Each structure stands twice: as structure tokens, then as C-alpha cells.
A and B are shown apart, each in its own frame.
Chain A
Amino acid sequence: MDLIAKLEILADAAKYDVACTSSGASRAAKRGALGNSSSAGLCHSFTADGRCISLLKVLLTNECVYDCAYCVNRRSNEVLRACFEPRELADLTIQFYRRNYIEGLFLSSGVVKSPDYTTELAIRTLTILREEYGFRGYIHAKAVPGTSPELIDRLGRLSDRLSVNLELPSRKSLDLLAPQKSRQRILAPMRQIQQSIAEDAETRALVRKKPTFYQRKTTIARKAEAFAPAGQSTQMIIGATPETDFQILNLSAALYRSLDLKRVFFSAYLPVSSDSRLPQTDGVQLNREHRLYQADWLMRFYRYDVAELIDEKHPFLDADVDPKANWALNHLEAFPVEVNAAPIEMLLRVPGIGPVGARKIVRARKTATLREPELRKLGIAYKRARYFITCNGSYMGKGVPFTRESMRAQLASPIDGGRHGRRAGNVLPGQMSLFEPEAAQPALPGSEVLAQWS
């Protein structure tokens, strides 16, 4: 099989994996070595459905000894199989990288022979890249559940980010659809990754301490030592199983809290199998996925607690109103806030004011009194914000009664995903990864998308 055909099969099989960001790791350029990574990440192209292409995202092989019901690569599915040679894939990565097509490699794989055997192939590929070619670009590797700890360790030291897919939002669903992957086999490597990252950070913190005259200065060569410096992420499939948004968001909150995950990705289930255990609808729950990302965003960057966003009595996020507006509507007693005086935490809770806008307000109000024109110039989504603010004492939302129902009608924001065929009224995921706020670049493409619901 020639390389083009192989690439097509193995890229196609990997494309449903949603994590595509290249951000979070920074490795400065070094003379004589190819590449660097910056913590902001870069998208190098966009697919016809508007998703960012940042990494060469492929499977090492789509052969698999497992039989997970939701997966195209499951053993019982009849598809064309292919497998990269480690060197072949390393060379391809370098060739793409040198042309500025990509930021690096995203390597995942079906399970060929055994988890350990598969991981060894991945390690060989990454070793060629890092050690032989001195490659300093970004590498995200997927750890296969069931791999032995030594191999996970080796993989983590070659990668910037390491992830284990949680796959499904509950143990019951996992048992039903992916019987070979027990919960334990998934959580064990996740815990190991978390610990290694933590230990690594500790060693580095020690080294960074000011040396005294009596100590010889030691530096750790970061490339050799750092364990997945961009952290750990995971993803789960939404809509293949009956879990509610309440369960899903609580699970991801727990993952952030207890396993220090950097990102939890959601992926709306696309029907790829006629297995009777799976829903056979044609509809893809893209809108639901979008609302989940919004809620996730609020937890990570606006410091909302999961209990503020969703409760057991209303276990699904509102389809018409984004979760931030929803919180505001349910807490009208906290509004309106005075933009010229309110603390930044309260500004962040105003629909229409995002982190960038809130910071700008705080800066600008030192020199001027802010009213409508100033707010508009600062890029605040004034049409939404006005119902929740006063400017110098006067309420800006006049004309609409200050009640939940009438304001809700003003704030309803149908998800706009374009005007094409099945896509109409839907929105893609993954775009959130385009504007990781760590980058603090207000000008990044996608800020509009964020503004729609901030």
C-alpha cells in the first residue's frame, strides 16, 4: 500500500478525535534543531467544516483487537486496515513540519496485538522524532488503557501532552459498549500521568530555587526530563448513551479537580455503527455538545462552580439560552451591576462581558466614566449586557421589564452554525480550543464565537 493511501485511511480513522489544540507547552527554539512550541498554539489550516488543523492527527494503525461498539476501528467492523512504520511516520511529520503545515504530531492508535506492543511502536516513532531528528515541535500522544506503567512513563517523557480517553460518561455505559476497557484500566494510567506531572513540577521547582554559594548549580535539561509539560486531557462521547448533562458536567468537574486535567473534550456521537446497543438516529447532538463546551468554559475560566450551572432537577442545559445568561436570569437579585465600580468577578458574570472585556473595563474606568459609547468601543456585547448593568447610576436596559421571562426572550441565542444542509442550526466543537485564554490574545480568530455567548 502506498503512503498516500495509508495516510488517508489512518487520518480518516483519527479524525473523530476532537482534541486538536497544540497549546500549553512552550519549548524555545534551539540552534541546530528543528522546531519549537509556543504556549499559544497555532492553527495551520481549517477544514471545510471550519475545524482547526494544528497537528498531523493520525492513528499509528487502525487495526484493533478490541471491539468497542461506538468505534469504526472495532475488530468486528469490516474496514480497510493500514499501519505506519515508525520511521515512515516520523519522516512524514518532519516533512509536513518543515513546510509549516503543522505544529506537530497527534498520535493515537488502535490496539495491535496488545497495549504494550502498541505503545512500544508509538515510543519508537517518537524516539526517532525527538532523539534522532531533534524535533522540538508539539507532540500529543494517546495512552492505550492497559499499558504497563514503565511504558507510559517513557511515552510521557517524549510527549507534550498525554491523554487517555474516558470514552463514555459512566461506568455502566463503558461496560455495555466497551467491555474490554474497564474503568480501572482507564483510570490507572490517568492517575499515573497526573502523579508524574506533579512530581516533575516539584523537581523543577526545586531546581529553580536560588542556588547558594555552596551548592553547585544544577539544571535539568527540560527535553529529557519533562513529563507531558502541556498536561493531560481526555475526551468522552456525548449522545451514544443516556447520561444527562448534569452527570457529564459533574464528571468533568471532578476530573479537573481530582486528576488535574487540562481539558475535557466532548464529542457528539456520529453514527458509525449499526450496533443494536447504540442509538440509530441520524441527528448529531451538536447543539448539546456546544452548550457543554460553554459550561465547561465557565467552570475553567470564569470560576463558576458546577452546581451554579446545573442541578439535578433540570439535568439538561437550556437549549435556547447559553449557561451564562441562564445563571444571570436565575440570579436577577445580583443585578444590575455598576460598570464603573463593580469588582471584576461581578463584571465577569454579566452576559456580554468576557474576560478580555472585563479587564478592559477595569482599566478604562480609571480615566473615564464609562457609558454606552465607551462600552461599545471596548468591544462589549452591549446589546446583551445592557439588561444587567447601570452606567453611573442609570439603568441601561430600560424598555424591557426586569423579569426573568421578558429578559429571557431578549437573550435567547440560537446556536448559529451556518446555512448549509444538515449543518443548519448546528455548531461544531473544538473551536473553543482556538482561543485558549492563556494566550491572552484578544485578536485571535474565534473571539467572535466566544462573544456570542460570553
Chain B
Amino acid sequence: MELTRPEPLRNVAYLHDGSLEGMLCCVFESYVRREHPEDVVAEQRYQPRLGQSAIYVSTDYERALRVRRGIEREAGSRAFGAAARASAHDAPEAGVIVLDFVRYVMDRSVKRDKRRSVLSDEANPIVQNLLALERRVANEEEKMRQFVRFSELENGVWFARCNPNARVVPLVMPHFVARFNIQPFMIYDECHKMAGVYDGNDWELVDGEAARIPARTSEDGYVERLWQRFYDTLSIEARYNPELRRHFMPVRLWKNLPETRPVPSRDEALLGSGAVLPEVIV
């Protein structure tokens, strides 16, 4: 395939649609244009810098796949997995860290011991940055496995709402699909406006569009109250230690936990009325 090679730009930011594939297309683009962008970010999160121009790189699955295969060929699937996971983070520097990492593994002029994974080179700052980012995303995945809470809706679907600081919903779906394979469910990420939807058979990722979701069953409110009571009962006053609780269970996640929600949904009047949960995708 003959590639067009535009003039390299300076002070440029690459914008993508926020998906992993979009991010990989930005990597592709930087090879095509032979330039090193200052920023690689999702369009929705872009904050222009002074004197910076921005290009929107559209997502092309073929190109993304070529980048993926390239990384896997040069560095193995574990390295690709680390890059993919790291790129899910919201931090503005995430895109550039992943880009630098990919350029590093693809660079044939760097002499490396082929028998050892690039990732074991922990003293290298490029690898270090990527691993640190990957770890942060992995931590957030763990938080979701811990703190996602489902409610039973009247249409038989189990619904959870969460607010992670990275696009981890697709990363945790396999865990929930395995565990809850007998119940159709949906995990809605209100920060990234996306949802993982499992229909009892297969799951897919859906981008958020507002729609009304059905009311919760009346039993659901009751079980939630049982849980709240259980939670309140467990604290041992003599051991009160709020710092430690916040350390393990960050306050930013509390609003989606029945046991810590500031305004408890114990209000009988709201239960089952359809007004409890705001608009969301179906």
C-alpha cells in the first residue's frame, strides 16, 4: 500500500474517539506523518495548549489491527495487553506514554534481549511509565470488581451504575459475565457514557445514549435496606478509623454504593416508582 506522507507538523495534538482502536490509529498516524505529537487524547477530553494545532484521527479498524499485530510480533501479547490497559486511563498523559512505548518496542535500532519481555526492563523510564499506568488501570478494575452494585429492574435486567476514572468497563465485563452468567445485566459508566451489556448469552460494549430505564422491583429496595442495615451493624465503635476506610474505599465511589450513598434511598415513596434512577441508556 502506498502511503501519503504529509509534512511533519510541530506542536500537534492527535485526537481520537476515546476507544482503544482510536488510540492505536493515532499511533499509526504518527508513523505515517513521521512526527511525534505532543499530546494524544480523546477528543472529549482535549484541552488545547498555547500554539498547538490539533488533528482528529478517525478510527479505522484495519489500521488499529495492524498496530496491534506489530506490537504483538515485536514484543508479545502480554506487552500489547499492558499497552491496551494503560491506554484506558483518563490521565491526559496516557496517550503519549502509550505512544512512546509502542515506538520503543517497534524500534529495531534498540538492541534488546529477545528472550526477555520488554516489560521486565523495569529500570527503563518508558517501560516504567507504561507499567505505572497499567497498574493504575488494574487498580481501578479491581475497584469495579469490588464496588459495582446491581439493582434488579422490573424488566428482569440487573443494572449497575459506576464512575471509574478509566475506561475499565470492557476490561471487567468478562469477570461479571462469568460470575453472573444466569442474569442479564448492564454496567453503565456514567463518566465515559458507555455501558457493558450482557443479554444472558453474550456481551457487548454500547456507547451511551440517554433513554429511560425501567423502575426497580420493590423487592430490590428491600434487599438494599437489608444490606444497609447489615453494613451499619458491622462497625465496631472501639475500632473507629475513617481514614483507613477512605483509603480502601475512595469517597469518589461512595455515591454509587447503597451502604454509603449520602441520601439513602430508604425513602419508601420512591421505591418502584420509576423515579429513582435517572435517565440512562437501555
Contacts and interface: CB of A to CB of B under 8 A. Distances in A.
A302 B138 CA distance: 26
Contacts of B121: 367
Given A36-B178, A45-B259, A99-B227, A443 B240 contact: no
A48 B240 contact: yes
Nearest to B145: A42
Interface residues of A, number: 66
B179 A35 contact: yes
A96 B227 contact: yes
Interface stretch (B44-52, B64-72, B95-103, B245-253): B245-253
A216 to B, nearest CB: 31
Contacts, number: 169
Given A45-B259, A419-B243, A34 B180 contact: yes
Contact of B151 (A3, A35, A44, A99): A99
Contacts of A442: 135
Contacts of B218: none
Contacts of B230: 7-8, 11, 56
B1 interface: no
A83 to B, nearest CB: 17
A421 B128 CA distance: 41
Contact of A50 (B150, B182, B226, B248): B248
Interface residues of B, number: 52
A33 interface: yes
Given A29-B181, A49-B239, A99-B227, A428 B145 contact: no
A445 interface: yes
B241 A420 contact: yes
Interface string B171-211: 00000101111110000000000000000000000000000
A428 B179 contact: no
Nearest to A58: B230
Given A98-B150, A101-B149, A32 B182 contact: yes
Interface string A70-93: 000000000000000000000010
A43 B146 contact: yes
A398 interface: no
Interface in A23-56: 28-29, 31-36, 42-53, 56
Interface string A411-448: 00000011111110010100100100000011111101
A124 B257 CA distance: 32
Given A36-B178, A96-B223, A45 B257 contact: yes
B188 to A, nearest CB: 14
Interface of B: 120-123, 128, 135, 138-139, 142, 145-152, 158, 160, 176, 178-183, 223-227, 229-231, 233-245, 247-249, 257, 259
21 contacts: A12-B233, A16-B236, A29-B179, A32-B181, A33-B181, A33-B182, A45-B146, A47-B235, A49-B245, A50-B247, A95-B223, A99-B150, A100-B180, A284-B238, A284-B239, A360-B122, A378-B122, A421-B240, A443-B138, A443-B139, A444-B142
> 6 closest Cβ contacts across the A-B interface?
A50-B244, A29-B178, A49-B239, A418-B241, A48-B235, A368-B123
